[in-house]
Amino acid sequence: MTTTRAAEPDVLHRLSFLDRLLPVWIGVAMAAGLLLGRFVPGLQSVLDAVKVGGVSLPIALGLLLMMYPVLAKVRYDRLDTVTRDKRTMWLSLLLNWIIGPALMFALAWLMLPDLPEYRTGLIIVGLARCIAMVIIWNDLACGDREAAAVLVALNSVFQVVMFGVLGWFYLDLLPSWLGLGTTAFDVSAWEIARSVLIFLGIPLAAGYLTRRFGEKSRGRDWYEGRFLPRIGPVALYGLLFTIVVLFALQGETITSRPLDVARIALPLLVYFALMWGGSYLLGKAAGLSYSRTTALAFTAAGNNFELAIAVAIGVFGVTSGQALAGVVGPLIEVPVLVALVYVSLWLRRRWTA
C-alpha cells in the first residue's frame, strides 16, 4: 500500500508545541548546560558528588524520568508479535553488534590515526549500544513502541555479555593482528549489568506495573486516554533536564578544547549518518513497515553515552582523552538524532510497504 499526502495526515503539524520545537529546546538546554558548567564555580563538583551506577545522580534521575513515560505507553501484551518477527531481531543484532562496532573502529582509525586517546574513546562509544534515549527518539518519530522495547531489552542482554569481549577484541586483539597500536581494556561484566539494571530495569518495571495495575483498576480507555497524556510531557522534561546537567558537568572540558571537539565530532557525524541511513535501507529491503524500520534505525544509530563515559572515566581517568571523546558523543548525538526524528517523519509520509 502506498502512503500518500492525502491518506496520511501531516505528522509534523500534529505534534504538540513542545515536540515541534524540540530542536530549539534542546539547543537552549545544551547552551544553558555549557554556560553553567563554564561560569558557575563549583557546580560540577556539586552535581557529580553523588553517583548512581557510575553516573551523576542528577543525570540518573533525569534518565529515569525520561524513560518511564515512554515505557508506560508500551502495550506489553503485544510484545509477542515483535519477538515472532525474526527479521527485525536478526537485523538489530547484525547492526548493533557487528556493523556498528566495526564501523566505529574503522572511522576512528581512518580519521584519528594520530590521536590514540580520542580514537580509543570513540571505539568505546561504538561498543556501548543505546538503551536509554533511543526510546524517546523512536517514540517522537512514530516508530513501533513495542519493537523498540524488545530491541532495547535485546541490546541490554548483549551489552552485559559482549561489551567487555568486544572491547578486548577492538582495542587489543584486532589492532595487534593489523599491526596497529593496542590498548589495554579491563571492565567487569558487573559494571555493565549494574548500568543496565538501573537505567533500563527500573523504568521498565515501573512502566509495566503502571500499565498492568492502571488498566486493571480503571480500564484501557482511561489509561491511554486520560493517564498517559498527563505523564507524557514528563519524558521531554526529563530529557531536557538530563541534557542541561550533562553539559553542565562537561562544559569547561568542551569549551576549553574546541579543536579537539571538532576532530572527534567528524567521525561521529559520519557514524550516525551511516548507521541510521543504512538501517532504513536494510529495513526497507527486508520489507519491514515504517514503524518497525524506525525502531530498528534508532536503536542501531544511538549509543549508550552514559555507559561509555562511565567506562572511559573508570578505566582511563576523568581528565583523559578517552573521557573527552565519550563526552563529545552526546554533544553530537543529541542534535543529530533530533534532526533525524524530523527526517523520519518526512519519510513516514512517503513510505510504501
Q: For residue 352, what are the β-bridge partners? A: 2
115-148 pLDDT, tens digit per residue, is 899 999 999 999 888 766 787 788 889 899 888 8
Q: What is the CB neighbour count within 10 angstroms for residue 244?
A: 23
**DSSP code at position 141:** T
Residue with more model confidence, 346 or 19: 346
pTM score, whole prediction: 0.76
CATH topology of domain 15-348: Na+/H+ antiporter like fold (1.20.1530)
Predicted confidence at residue 73, as pLDDT, reads 82
The closest of 203, 190, 207 to 131, measured between CA atoms, is 203
52-71 pLDDT, tens digit per residue, is 666 678 877 887 887 788 77
Predicted confidence at residue 3, as pLDDT, reads 40
Residue 1 confidence (pLDDT) above 60 = no
pLDDT average, residue stretch 34-50: 78
Q: Could you write out the DSSP letters of every residue in 65-81? A: HHHHHHHHH--GGGHHH
180-204 pLDDT, tens digit per residue, is 887 776 666 676 677 667 777 788 8
Where residue 111 falls among pLDDT bands split at 50, 70, 90? Answer: very high
Predicted confidence at residue 2, as pLDDT, reads 39
265-302 pLDDT, tens digit per residue, is 999 999 999 999 999 999 999 999 999 999 999 999 98
- Alpha-carbon Rg for the chain, nearest whole angstrom, is 20
pLDDT average, residue stretch 337-349: 89
Predicted confidence at residue 331, as pLDDT, reads 76
Q: Could you write out the DSSP letters of every residue in 25-78? A: HHHHHHHHHHHHHHHSTTHHHHHTSSEETTEEHHHHHHHHHHHHHHHHH--GGG
159-169 pLDDT, tens digit per residue, is 877 888 888 89
Predicted confidence at residue 9, as pLDDT, reads 43
Residue 33 confidence (pLDDT) above 90 = no
**DSSP code at position 2:** B
59-108 pLDDT, tens digit per residue, is 778 878 877 887 788 777 777 777 788 889 899 999 999 999 999 999 99
Residue 305 confidence (pLDDT) above 80 = no
